[in-house]
Structure formats: structure tokens, C-alpha cells
Amino acid sequence: MQQLRIPGPTPCPPEVLKAIGRQMINHRGKEFAEIIRDITPKLKEMFQTKNDIFLLTGSGTGGMEAAVVNTLSPGDKVLATSCGFFGDRFAEIGEVYGAEVKRLNFEWGKPVDPDAVRQALKADSGIKAVLVTHNETSTGVTNDLKSISAIANEFDKLVLVDAISGLGSIDLPVDAWQCDVVVTASQKGWMVPPGLAMVSVSEKAWQAHAKAKMPRYYWDFTSAKNYLEKGQTPTTPAVSVFFGLAVALDMMLAEGLQNIFARHAKLAGLARNGAKSMGLTLVPEERYASNTITAIRASDKLNVAKLLQLLENEHGVVLAGGQGSLSGKIFRIGHLGWIGEKDIKQVLDAITKVIPQASS
Ligand SMILES: *Cc1c(COP(=O)(O)O)cnc(C)c1O
């Protein structure tokens, strides 16, 4: 069997695969209503929130777009923090919809500096919202969202969070950290196929929503809320992914949030130590390194394309390369969702074996 160790889609447990293979049901019927009413409170537990949660059919980026268009108006000033590929994407979405985006960029591999966020908010009182990436998948960095959000709240800003590759795997107590819109996606740590973005919406986000004038149709939160009251979604949902998510959430809640976070921390530790013991260096400083994805710098002699090809062809191990400016320079091991120690060991063994062949 292939070891799919990219940061999403991630492998699904057999119970989930069985569930998603079910026959279709009427998405306007009683059974679907029961499923969405079962899933939604369970997601609230996972998000550690009392806020509204919507299941939007689309990929994670759709959820990011929903966060922006539902809370902002063209011309609104937004502070877009970015330390990688996905932080840049969030900023671009704001720009496309006409926000006045002030970019606060950090070197790829470094985290967003909360003090710099404070300075930026101090310098411009007109800023309405702060965009933050919880876990920057492109560089394997987890940002100090707790501090960043606390600062943004001190200045009474909206906090819009891309937690796509972190939530459900790394602790993110949405209410305790006062995050207004938080986005994740089914194919990351949730052990289900791609197809659903999940977003939480705070009271403050609803207040912003009431005045927000960015154009929206498919992603409209008011529409999502009205339909959810009927146990439905505004348009045809990814029904099969709902089937899978119902099963996956039960598995996750049975394991327990703290146990899930601890497992990811442990696996990440194994991945980082494994890479270091091969003489490789991590992309971020270890204290900022993500528990869901390990980004590893290739030495000058190591050909990343060849490494990935050999891993896949000879060992059935599928890893990710670098994105954007890091393409060809790094490779990444995804360790989120349905994964255990044995899997990490297999991946590390395979890397150890192919490195000599992939080096010049
Ligand atoms: C995967 C990912 C995205 C993009 O999600 P899609 O589902 O591909 O749209 C955005 N941000 C982060 C941090 C991600 O890991």
C-alpha cells in the first residue's frame, strides 16, 4: 500500500472509506438533516467553540474566500500576515475582492512575529481585520496564533484564520483565543477526502457580516445559517464526505482532543529527529516547527525531484516538494490525520535508503 505523506489529501481509515462508499441520499431529506445535526456539534467540540460552524462544499481555499467576503467590504484595510505560500494566498484573496491589503511579510521558514503585528496595528488605526495562517504548510511553521490573536483583539480587530492544516491536529481553542472566523478543510487532519471546508463564525464576525459588502453568493454565511436551521445546505453538498466525516469525528472524539494533539506532537518529534539524524536541516527553527508537517532543506548535493521519484517508485512513499520559491530546495513530510509511529519509521527508513541514490 502506498504511504501517502503529503499535507493533504491524507489517507482515510477503512471505516471512513466504507462510509463514503454508501449509496446517495436526498440532501433535502430527513436523514441528511440528522447527519448535519450530528456533525455540527461534534465539530464545535473539535474547534473548542460555541460559535456557529458551517460545512461548505469546496476546498479549503473556498473557506478562506468565505472568511474574507463575508466580513469585509471593498476598500477595507486588512493586515495580511504571511510567512509562506498560503499566507500570500490569503492576502491575494483580499486583494482580488478589493480590500486595501497591507502585507506584513516574513521570511519563508520564519514565523509571523507578534510584535511586528502590534507595531503594524499601532501604526494604522484604520485596519479592520488581521489575516493569519495558523500552520503554514509550505514551510512547516506553526505561528503563535494565541499571541497574534490576543494582540489583534487588544486593538479590536477581526481575526480571520487559515487553520486548514492545523485545526483538529494542533491545539487551537477558537473561543479561548478569540478567533473570529477559523477555516479548516476535510482532507487535512480530518481523515476524510477533499470536498468540505469547515468554518467557525463568531458573534463579532456576524456583526461585521451585517455590514460587509464584498460580493458573495456561493459562500454567503447568512444563506448557510438559514439552511442549517432546516438541516440543509444552500446548494448540493459533498454528501459522501459528510458520511465519512460523521465516522471520522466519532473516531477523533473517542481518541480525545488532547491525545490527538499529543500524538501529532510525538510523530512530529520523530520526523524532525529522523531528519536531523540523517544530517539534514529543518526549514524552520525547531521551536516553530509544525506538528503536522515537517519541512526539510535539501543539501546542495541532493536532487529533490529525484528523491521524491525514488521514494515513490521504489518504496511507495509519497512526499511533497517545495512550493513557490522553495521548489526544488526542500521536501516535506505530512504527518497529520490517520497516522502512527510505524508510518513515520517507514518514511524515514525509505528516505535513508534513497538519499545516496538521489545525491550527486
Ligand atoms: C492545504 C492548505 C490550503 C489550501 O487548501 P485547498 O483545500 O487546497 O484549497 C490553504 N492553507 C493551508 C495552510 C493549507 O495547508
Domain boundaries along the sequence of the chain:
3-8+257-358, 14-253
* Residue 7 Cα to ligand 1 middle (Å): 9
Amino acid letter for position 124: D
Which DSSP state fits 13?
Answer: -
Confidence category of residue 226, pLDDT binned at 50, 70, 90 = very high
* Residue 53 Cα to ligand 1 middle (Å): 18
* Residue 29 Cα to ligand 1 middle (Å): 31
Q: Quick check: 111 and 141 in contact, CB under 8 A?
A: yes
The alpha carbons of the chain give a radius of gyration, in whole angstroms, of: 20
pLDDT score, position 69: 99
Q: How many CA atoms lie within 13 A of 169 on its CB side?
A: 34
User: In CATH, which of 3.40.640.10, 3.40.50.1100, 3.40.50.300, 3.40.50.920 is domain 14-253?
Assistant: 3.40.640.10
Three-state SS for 353? helix
**Spatial distance between the Cα atoms of 196 and 248, rounded to a whole number of angstroms:** 13
Is pLDDT at 246 greater than 90 in this prediction?
A: yes
Per-residue pLDDT tens digits for 256-293: 999 999 999 999 999 999 999 999 999 999 999 999 99
Per-residue pLDDT tens digits for 305-357: 999 999 999 999 999 999 999 999 999 999 999 999 999 999 999 999 999 99
* Residue 321 Cα to ligand 1 middle (Å): 15
Per-residue pLDDT tens digits for 29-86: 999 999 999 999 999 999 999 999 999 999 999 999 999 999 999 999 999 999 999 9
* Residue 77 Cα to ligand 1 middle (Å): 24
Q: Would you say the C-alpha torsion 141, 147, 151, 153 has a positive or negative sign?
A: positive
Going by CA atoms, what residue is nearest to atom 5 of ligand 1?
A: 60
pLDDT score, position 282: 98
Q: What is the percent of the chain with per-residue pLDDT over 70, rounded to a whole number?
A: 100
Q: Which CATH superfamily does the domain covering 3-8+257-358 fall into?
A: Aspartate Aminotransferase, domain 1 (3.90.1150.10)
The pocket around ligand 1, CB under 6 angstroms, is made up of 7-8, 59-61, 86, 133, 135, 137, 162, 164-165, 185
Domains 3-8+257-358 and 14-253 equal at CATH topology level: no
Q: Among the atoms of ligand 1, which is closest to the Cα of residue 8?
A: 1
Three-state SS for 357? helix
User: Per the confidence metrics, is the pTM higher than 0.85?
Assistant: yes
Q: Among the atoms of ligand 1, which is closest to the Cα of residue 134?
A: 13
Q: Quick check: 329 and 138 in contact, CB under 8 A?
A: no
pLDDT score, position 360: 86
Is pLDDT at 1 greater than 90 in this prediction?
A: no
**Spatial distance between the Cα atoms of 101 and 87, rounded to a whole number of angstroms:** 12
**Spatial distance between the Cα atoms of 43 and 289, rounded to a whole number of angstroms:** 26
Q: Among the atoms of ligand 1, which is closest to the Cα of residue 86?
A: 11
**Spatial distance between the Cα atoms of 187 and 337, rounded to a whole number of angstroms:** 9
Q: What is the mean pLDDT of residues 124-136?
A: 98
Is pLDDT at 113 greater than 90 in this prediction?
A: yes
